[in-house]
Amino acid sequence: MRNEEPLFPRRTSIEELDRESRRLFDPEIENTVREIVNQVREQGDPALRAYAEELDGLPKDSELNLDRRRLQEAFESLPEDDRQRLERISARIGAFARAQLSCLTELEMEIPGGRAGHRVAAVERAGCYAPGGRYPLPSSVLMTVIPAQIAGVREIWVASPDQSPLTMAAAWIAGASGMLAAGGAHAIAALAFGAGSVPPMDLIVGPGNQYVTAAKKYVSGEVRIDMLAGPSELVIIADDSADPAIIAADLLAQAEHDDNAFPFLISLSDSLITQVERELEGQLNGLPSFRTARRALRNGGSVLAPDLNTATRWSDELAPEHLQLCTRDARSLADRLSHYGALFVGEQTAEVIGDYGAGPNHVLPTGGTARSTGGLSVFTFLKIQTWMELDPAEGPSQLLNDGAWFARQEGLEAHARAIERRGV
């Protein structure tokens, strides 16, 4: 018997969506996060340990900082088949990161009176957060640490409330320097400002719950972060050629993340929506995460688009974390879309494969922020440093004359005189 409240609500337009459901975190938690972060910043390791014991369930007197030896022991404790799978997945993520890195080159060019250019350098230290909670994500350890290692980051710390052998093994094989056995806002504070043997990081990356996201926002003025990520999202654009069973399976895969996940279908076929709704009801039966998935399905929904142009416009307005195309000419449609975190082209290209190490990263922007930023990658861990060298043998140049003129236009006489001492 169907519930009075629809399992998968239909919308008449994108404008009907509750935008609040896609917010990154509840503003009311910011005061709590601020207090936690400040305590760890001021007191260091003792505050971190107290919060880890209280909030993460860390046993008293247990190790808070796990070195590479401990991580290696966890890797070696795994069955041979598990170790091989981790190695294969890591290799694929690494290959993609290396290919991305090869797209960047050093620059050197002539300028009047000398030369200028840029060099590509990695940050020195990076902190990589991996969620624990209901579904620990050792895959996020690989997705964050491997690009950092490929980029050339010298010191990489993982922070996670989950110290399962698989998560620790992932940290070892990815190349982490060590692992902080803590999660939440207190772990972000430790990565930002240092605690015990963990030094302050230059960059903090990785997904987490609302407390993690709020903490990243709070420390972002003093340490660089990758992005502020909220609940997971999937938008599927489908026409009447799509398989409703596959679409339902993909929506449920996204829905089981948490109650606030956003699974959404933009369909060009009204009958397809009806078939997908029936499939969702059937596939929910026996799903271990059915309670969470059911709530998330109600948070998302479906909308009937009158044509493909409208479907692409609505998708770009949503700018979803994941965008999947289940249409006849998906590759052509892909070229018409502008805003998404990651794109999955064709019905056989399941979004969930992107979560588990095909190559591209699964740490992606949410809440519409894909309009202005992309996902985590090897580039996240790099900085572009410019340089310039002028040759005094060249004598006064137009460059110096122009510079002195501009300085005086801005009322900065000392600037102009400093330029003129070089021979103007």
Q: Is residue 96 part of a domain?
A: yes
Among 135-139, 145-149, 308-312, 384-388, the least confident range: 135-139
Mean pLDDT to the nearest integer, 118-124: 98
- Give me the number of domains the chain comprises: 3
Is pLDDT above 80 for 377?
Answer: yes
Domain CATH for 167: 3.40.50.1980
- 317 in the same domain as 185: no
Q: Are 356 and 272 found together in one domain?
A: yes
Catalytic machinery residues: 321-322
For residue 196, is pLDDT > 60? yes
What mean pLDDT is predicted for residues 87-91?
Answer: 97
Strands 382-390 and 114-122: antiparallel
pLDDT of 325 above 80: yes
Instruction: Judge contact between 237 and 323, C-beta under 8 A.
Output: yes
pLDDT digits (tens, 9 = 90+) for 245-293: 999 999 999 999 999 999 999 999 999 999 999 999 999 999 999 999 9
User: Does 328 map to a domain?
Assistant: yes
Question: Does one domain contain both 131 and 185?
Answer: yes
Within 10 A of 401 (CB to CB), how many other CB atoms are there?
A: 14
Domain with 168, as residue range(s), is 27-225
Shared domain for 241 and 322, answered yes or no, is yes
Q: What is the pLDDT of residue 2?
A: 46
Cα 57 → chain centroid: 26
Average pLDDT over residues 225-239: 95
Mean pLDDT of 46-62: 95
Domain check: are 419 and 284 in the same one? no
Contacts of 120 (CB under 8 A, 6+ apart): 104, 105, 106, 382, 383, 384, 385
Question: CA of 260: how far to CAs of 58, 229, 234, 293, in Å?
Answer: 27, 13, 12, 9
Q: Are 362 and 237 in a shared domain?
A: yes
Q: Are residues 201 and 141 in the same domain?
A: yes
Do 221 and 236 lie in one domain? The reply is no
Same domain for 257 and 170, yes or no, is: no
Q: Is residue 281 part of a domain?
A: yes
Q: Is the dihedral of CA 415, 416, 417, 420 positive or negative?
A: positive
What is the pLDDT averaged over residues 303-311? 96
> 17-30, pLDDT tens digit by residue?
766 666 778 888 99
Q: Report residue 1's pLDDT band, with 50, 70 and 90 as the boundaries.
A: very low
Q: Longest Cα pair distance anywhere in the chain, in angstroms?
A: 88
Find the mean pLDDT for residues 368-395: 92
CB 215 within 8 A of CB 206: no
- 217 and 343 in a single domain? The answer is no
pTM of the predicted protein model: 0.94
What does the chain come to in residues?
424
Q: What is the pLDDT of residue 423?
A: 78
Q: Is residue 80, in this structure, part of any structural domain at all?
A: yes
108 found inside a domain: yes
